[in-house]
């Protein structure tokens, strides 16, 4: 990877305009200091001061093929030169081909693709389709989930960010999906946790009234909330409950899809086929905003003679779809999914378990493919989380110290609450992973100082 040319003056100008005019997501605007990025390639990006980082976060877990893949960049350029944009009510080559390639890979009969601009609006439309298909109002969703930042999606989300914008009237009911590490007073094994979660879910359905529930939405593997790979049998059990009560089963693969788990879709890990599946991020590695809903034959038929009352100006935008076609072809040609599966099993899992043995701050290691989490704790016995922030905010807590140490060693980590997720591009090499684990080793030593 070529060394970046430092240009601190240009970096200062980028930062000044950002600070003056850009309003950032999920942040208190005066308390943040967004780094200025000068460029990126493959698994790395660099700033204007000449510092280069190995990106173990894949942006927001979306650059599954890394940054600036030449074939995808060329496909976007070519599409821009021939047909940069066109309205959604027309058949356009890039859109048709992207839909065909996606439908070819989605499980079961999820063969119709409704394109959106990203993940949250894919979730919005999946829920709307389910409500119209069933004529029922409610949605069941898991605590410890993330489904997007728009109004309905954030209400469905099961993390504390929902609290600020929950309208309390959306007909959303949350349930407690499998999370063995934090269910230990109820279950000791994956099998027990699976049984607990399914029994709890069926009870919830009974109390809510099955005939009032339109959809049940789950991340196939919950991502942002902590990468809890569901125990064997759980998703099949949920599928059976949805069938029993006529509930539309929606799997959200926005983060877990397109190679992240070492399969094209995380649903392939269990063979469970949902009625609707949302995707975004990895579909084109985030080079141009794109998301969508893959729709089963039965639900597509509901809107065969009756119009679907929903749409987006940029649904299936040609630039985004051309990027998706190129990305999917690159993934197939370069064995990207197989790379994530093999290196995840042979390198990442063993390396993280080895780190956990030496670092008392690591409470649990879990994951699959290029989708891993380290749960950091103050105390392994009590499992008390290594608190994310101290009273003064994000800048000074132990997780911030851990993050700063990782960055000082050239690693850009993904941090959420008391967890760090190891989610590099699915194209990452073994040498890059080893470089990242050396930095992680050093950063965990800083986290260890906060254990008791």
DSSP 8-state class, residue 25: T
> Which of 87, 159, 153 lies closest to 126 in space, CA to CA?
153
Tracing tokens 């989490």 back to the chain, one arrives at: 373
CB 252, min distance to ligand PLP, A = 4
419 binds ligand PLP (CB under 6 A): no
Q: Work out whether 144 is an interface residue with ligand PLP (CB under 6 A).
A: no
Q: Is 218 in the site for ligand PLP (CB under 6 A)?
A: no
Assigned token pair, 315 = 């649904």
Least Å distance, CB 286 to ligand PLP, is 9
In the beta sheet, which residues pair with residue 37? 47
For position 370 contacting ligand PLP by CB under 6 A, the verdict is no
CB of 225 to ligand PLP, least distance (A): 9
With a CB cutoff of 8 Å and minimum separation 6, the contacts of 442 are: 405, 406, 409
CB-wise, 355 or 422, nearer to ligand PLP? 422
Residue 323: count other Cβ atoms within 10 Å of its Cβ: 27
Contacts of 48 (CB under 8 A, 6+ apart): 6, 7, 8, 10, 11, 12, 14, 36, 38
224 binds ligand PLP (CB under 6 A): yes
Q: How far is the CB of 250 from ligand PLP (least distance, A)?
A: 11
Q: Any contact of residue 280 with ligand PLP (CB under 6 A)?
A: yes
Binders of ligand PLP among 327-356, rule CB under 6 A?
none
Q: In the range 183-202, which residues lie near ligand PLP by CB under 6 A?
A: none
Phi and psi at residue 150, in whole multiples of 5°?
-80, 170
Q: How far is CA 276 from the centre of its chain?
A: 17
226 binds ligand PLP (CB under 6 A): no
Judging by beta carbons within 10 Å of its beta carbon (0-12, 13-18, 19+), is residue 427 exposed, middle or buried? buried
Task: Report whether 117 contacts 289 (CB < 8 A).
Answer: yes
Minimum CB distance to ligand PLP, residue 259 (Å): 15
Task: Compare residues 379 and 416 and give the one whose CB is closer to ligand PLP.
Answer: 416
Candidate list 119, 259, 344, 367; residue touching ligand PLP; CB under 6 A: 119
Bridge partners of residue 412, in order along the sequence: 55
Please, which residue, 267 or 355, has the CB nearer to ligand PLP? 267
From the list 50-58, 63-71, 113-121, 236-244, the region that binds ligand PLP by CB under 6 A is 113-121
Q: Does 118 bind ligand PLP (CB under 6 A)?
A: yes
Question: Least distance from C-beta 391 to ligand PLP, angstroms?
Answer: 28
Closest to ligand PLP by CB, 119 vs 262, is 119
Spatial contact of 219 and 257, defined as CB atoms under 8 Å apart: no
Kindly state whether residue 124 participates in binding ligand PLP, applying the rule CB under 6 A: no
Query: Is residue 364 at the binding interface for ligand PLP, with CB under 6 A as the rule?
Result: no
102 vs 97, 175, 260, 277, 364, CA distance in Å?
9, 30, 15, 11, 34
For the record, the structure tokens of 204 come out as 């919830």
DSSP letter (8 states) at residue 220: S
With CB under 6 A, what is the number of residues at the site for ligand PLP? 16
> Of residues 47-86, which lie at the interface with ligand PLP (CB under 6 A)?
60
Interface residue list for ligand PLP (CB under 6 A): 60, 118-120, 123, 146-148, 219, 223-224, 252, 254-255, 280, 291
């Amino acid at each position: 990877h070529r060394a970046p040319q430092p240009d601190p003056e240009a970096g200062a100008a980028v930062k000044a305009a950002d600070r003056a005019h850009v309003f950032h997501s999920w942040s208190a605007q005066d308390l943040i200091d967004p780094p200025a990025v000068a460029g990126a390639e493959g698994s790395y990006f660099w700033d204007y001061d000449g510092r280069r980082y190995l990106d173990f976060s894949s942006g927001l877990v979306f650059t599954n093929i890394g940054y600036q893949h030449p074939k995808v960049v060329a496909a976007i350029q070519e599409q821009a030169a021939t047909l940069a944009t066109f309205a959604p009510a027309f058949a356009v080559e890039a859109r048709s081909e992207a839909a065909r390639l996606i439908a070819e890979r989605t499980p079961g009969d999820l063969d119709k693709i409704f394109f959106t601009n990203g993940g949250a609006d894919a979730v919005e439309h999946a829920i709307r389709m389910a409500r119209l298909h069933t004529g029922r109002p409610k949605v069941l969703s898991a605590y410890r989930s993330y489904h997007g930042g728009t109004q309905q999606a954030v209400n469905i989300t099961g993390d504390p960010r929902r609290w600020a914008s929950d309208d309390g009237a959306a007909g959303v009911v949350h349930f407690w999906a499998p999370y063995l590490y934090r269910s230990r007073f109820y279950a000791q094994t994956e099998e027990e946790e699976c049984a607990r979660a399914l029994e709890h879910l069926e009870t919830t359905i009974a109390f809510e009234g099955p005939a009032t529930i339109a959809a049940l939405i789950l991340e196939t593997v919950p991502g942002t909330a902590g990468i809890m790979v569901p125990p064997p049998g759980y998703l099949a059990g949920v599928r059976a409950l949805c069938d029993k009560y006529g509930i539309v089963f929606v799997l959200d693969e926005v983060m877990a899809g397109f190679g992240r788990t070492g399969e094209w879709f995380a649903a392939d890990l269990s063979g469970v086929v949902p009625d609707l599946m949302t995707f975004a991020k990895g579909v084109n590695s985030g080079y141009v905003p794109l998301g969508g809903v893959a729709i089963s034959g039965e639900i597509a038929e509901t809107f065969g003679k009756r119009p679907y009352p929903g749409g987006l100006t940029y649904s299936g935008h040609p630039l985004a779809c051309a990027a998706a076609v190129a990305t999917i072809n690159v993934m197939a040609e370069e064995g990207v999914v197989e790379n994530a599966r093999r290196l995840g099993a042979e390198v990442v899992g063993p390396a993280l378990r080895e780190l956990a043995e030496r670092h008392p701050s690591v409470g649990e290691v879990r994951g699959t493919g290029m989708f891993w989490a380290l749960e950091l704790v103050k105390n392994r016995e009590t499992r008390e989380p290594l608190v994310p922030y101290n009273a003064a905010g994000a800048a000074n807590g132990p997780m911030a110290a851990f993050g700063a140490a990782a960055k000082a060693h050239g690693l850009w980590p993904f941090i959420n609450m008391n967890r760090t997720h190891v989610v590099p591009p699915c194209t990452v090499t073994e040498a890059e992973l080893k470089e990242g684990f050396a930095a992680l080793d050093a950063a965990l030593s800083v986290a260890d100082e906060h254990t008791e």
